């Protein structure tokens, strides 16, 4: 991880904090440093390439390999969490996605019912069912407000629910109708910490 060295840091009051050459300001250890509200403190991401298949139950099922932890640099931060999932699903319109933070659903307008067509945020599937060679996708974001202290890791995960035990195939789409061979895809989770 690289270190950004600041020679001068402007303070909201107009004062200037000067940092001597060769010295660095570590926000992780300087608990008395407060960043202006809305400042981006850090961005972490994870690209998932694992090809998995699993059955999504009627409750939130953790989607394999789409998990990322972040250790807050400041207390009480907000986190913008973006999920980009690609794959294929049986009876795609009966699958919904949500985001968990430390085991609790946190996305705004989270899905609590199953959809019969393309929906927003919690369910962003296209049309299609399994074995039809049509990619399905979910791409949505949510802003999470926390009271988490600095230095304590938070874990964000993608979860899926279905009306029954429908199968989802993460990062792969069958190459043709009938399910022989498949094409590879990648999914991603991006977490941005924002000072509040």
- Per-residue confidence (pLDDT) for residue 194, from 0 to 100: 95
CB count, 10 Å around CB of 129? 15
| Residue 58 backbone class (left: φ over 0; alpha: ψ -120 to 50; beta: rest) | alpha
CB 48 within 8 A of CB 66: yes
Buried b (16+ CB within 10 A) or exposed e, 71-99: ebbbbebbbebebbbbbbbbbbbbbbbbb
- Per-residue confidence (pLDDT) for residue 179, from 0 to 100: 56
Tens-place pLDDT, residues 108-132 = 655 544 433 333 333 333 334 445 5
pTM for this structure? 0.74
168 Cβ contact partners less than 8 Å away, ≥ 6 residues apart: 53, 54, 55, 56, 63, 87, 88, 89, 90, 95, 160
Q: Per residue of the chain (196 residues), what is the pLDDT tens digit?
A: 455 555 445 555 555 666 667 776 665 555 555 678 889 999 999 999 999 999 988 888 999 999 999 999 999 999 999 988 888 887 656 778 888 999 998 876 555 444 333 333 333 333 344 455 677 778 888 899 999 999 999 999 999 888 778 888 899 887 765 556 678 889 999 999 999 8
Q: Does domain 35-194 have CATH number 2.60.120.1340?
A: yes
| DSSP per-residue letters across 14-28 | S-EEE--TT----TT
Specify the 3-state DSSP secondary structure of 9. strand
CB 196 within 8 A of CB 78: yes
| Residue ranges per structural domain of the chain | 35-194
Nearest to 114 by CA among 69, 162, 147, 66: 162
């Amino acid at each position: 991880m690289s270190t950004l060295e600041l020679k001068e840091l402007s303070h909201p009051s107009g004062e200037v904090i000067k940092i001597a050459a060769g010295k660095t300001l570590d926000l992780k250890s300087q608990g008395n440093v407060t960043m202006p509200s809305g400042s981006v403190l850090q961005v972490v991401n994870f690209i998932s390439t694992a090809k998995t298949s699993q059955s999504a139950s009627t409750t939130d099922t953790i989607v394999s390999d789409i998990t990322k932890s972040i250790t807050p640099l400041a207390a009480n931060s907000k986190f913008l969490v973006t999920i980009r999932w690609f794959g294929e699903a049986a009876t795609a319109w009966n699958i919904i996605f949500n985001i968990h933070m430390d085991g609790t659903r946190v996305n705004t307008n989270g899905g609590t019912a199953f959809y019969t067509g393309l929906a927003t945020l919690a369910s962003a599937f296209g049309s299609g069912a399994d074995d039809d060679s049509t990619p399905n996708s979910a791409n949505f974001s949510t802003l999470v407000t926390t009271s988490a202290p600095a230095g304590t890791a938070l874990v964000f995960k993608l979860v899926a629910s279905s009306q029954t035990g429908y199968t989802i195939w993460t990062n792969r789409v069958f190459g043709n109708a009938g399910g022989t061979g498949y094409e590879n895809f990648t999914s991603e989770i991006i977490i941005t910490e924002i000072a509040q």
